Every structure is written in structure tokens, then in C-alpha cells.
Amino acid sequence: MKITAVKKLFAHGSPCKKCAEVEQKMRHADQLSAIDELIIADEADPQSKGMPLAAQHNVDRAPFFIVERD
């Protein structure tokens, strides 16, 4: 199984507040080691790796997680 986390970076350059909160909670619960890949969806760069993923999965909120099973 592979887990990918996608965090948002707003067009004006600041990180998503909710993404930081979720990351902090995951760090506190020692769950970050379960994340295989962290991707940034940068609103200022539509070609950033996370933006096409969000469109592909019809997601408009961050953070989001993609779980791929073997």
C-alpha cells in the first residue's frame, strides 16, 4: 500500500493552515511515517505535481490523501 499526502500552497505563497494543523496532529500521533510521498499543490503553478492530482480526483480542499492498494 502507498499513501500520498497532498498539501496546498496558496497563490500568494502562504501554506494552507488546515494542512499545517493536520500535519501537526499526525506528527503528534507518530503517523507521518505512514506517508510514503508528500506532494505540494501550488495554486500559483497549475503544473505543480499536486494540482493535476487534485483535478484527477475531483478534490478542491486540502490536505487530501491518496491510498493505493497493491
**pLDDT, position 25:** 97
Its pTM stands at 0.90
Residue 34 pLDDT level (bands cut at 50, 70, 90): very high
The edge-to-edge listing of strands for the beta sheet with 64-68 is: 37-42, 2-9, 64-68
Model confidence band, residue 29 (pLDDT cutoffs 50, 70, 90): very high
- Round the CA-based radius of gyration of the chain to a whole number and report it: 12
Average confidence (pLDDT) over 11-20: 94
Across residues 38-52, what is the average pLDDT?
95
Burial of 50 by CB count in 10 Å (0-12 exposed, 13-18 middle, 19+ buried)?
buried
What pLDDT, on a 0 to 100 scale, did the predictor assign at position 54?
A: 95
